[in-house]
Amino acid sequence: MKTDAALDEEIMRLCGAAQNRGAVAQPLYARDVVVATWVRFKCRYGCKGYGKHLSCPPYAPAPDETRAMLREYRAGVLLRFDGDPAHPVISPDDLPLDFHPFFGEMIRWINTTVHDLEKMAFYNGWYRAFGFGAYPCIFCHPCVAEEREGPVDESMRRFCRHQDLLRPSMEAAGIDVFATARHAGWDIRPIPCRDMEYGKIMHGDIRSVALVLVD
């Protein structure tokens, strides 16, 4: 195991790289990543993306798997992405019924940053580095999980067109993003929707969170 000083140095290097990509970065102990079973229930009941993206449940790791994995790590980098580069101003009427592609540029910004930081750490000798993105994956639209008929199970992953890029989102793996963000000193709140209608957010002040575990 590398020293704490070496780990700190690598994390600060990744924080700098994240900031160069427009993200806010904060070192975080792995023990401060909050995992809760209820998070997966929110995916299974209430999210229109369930079963349609390989980054999401039921394909993503279950909370118990995530808890076990986190016990193998000391620290990482929590990332915050403020706003949607393609839509700095958003009103409820801007959102189409299928709003996932609408946020495509933002989702790609988040998940490519996560992938790049994980890769940087890996090739710098931190071979256990692993990233968690945000939102349903949009490297393909539609995802093969939505295109293909048959059982909704892990075997679908073999058809993924971007297996090198695909990572589970934090929430898909059972991570309580709101509680974890508070450990970094960030106040992340749900965006109100007009008349509480699904997806019809009232403003574009979106704060998205991702995670790269280093060691």
User: For residue 2, what pLDDT is reported?
Assistant: 84
Q: Are strands 130-132 and 207-213 parallel, antiparallel or unpaired?
A: antiparallel
Q: How far is CA 175 from CA 65, 156, 182, in A?
A: 11, 23, 13
Beta bridge partners of 201: 193
Mean pLDDT value across the chain = 94
User: For residue 12, what pLDDT is reported?
Assistant: 97
What is the arrangement of strands in the sheet containing 24-29, beginning at the earlier edge strand? 24-29, 75-82, 207-213, 130-132
What 8-state DSSP symbol labels residue 189? Answer: -
Label residue 27 by pLDDT band (50, 70, 90): very high
pLDDT tens digits, one per residue of 62-107: 999 999 999 999 999 999 999 999 999 999 999 998 899 999 999 9
User: For residue 212, what pLDDT is reported?
Assistant: 98
* High-pLDDT (> 90) share of the chain, %: 86
User: For residue 1, what pLDDT is reported?
Assistant: 73
**pLDDT greater than 90 at residue 141:** no
Label residue 181 by pLDDT band (50, 70, 90): very high
**pLDDT greater than 90 at residue 184:** yes
What b/e readout covers 164-196, taking b as 16+ CB neighbours within 10 angstroms? ebbbbbbbbbbbbbbebbeebebeeeeeeeeee
Label residue 161 by pLDDT band (50, 70, 90): very high
User: For residue 165, what pLDDT is reported?
Assistant: 93
**CB-based burial of residue 135 (10 Å sphere; 0-12 exposed, 13-18 middle, 19+ buried)?**
buried
Mean pLDDT computed over 104-123: 97
Kindly report the backbone phi and psi dihedral angles of residue 35, in degrees, each rounded to the nearest multiple of 5, phi listed first. Answer: -115, 135
Segments forming the whole domain that contains residue 104: 4-213
Q: 123, 106, 119: which is closest to 167 by C-alpha?
A: 119
Q: How far is CA 156 from CA 60, 145, 146, 168, in A?
A: 12, 6, 10, 15
Of 72-86, 114-128, 141-155, 198-212, the range with the lowest mean pLDDT is 141-155
Q: How many domains does the chain have?
A: 1
Mean pLDDT computed over 124-139: 96
Q: Residue 145: helix, strand or coil by DSSP?
A: helix
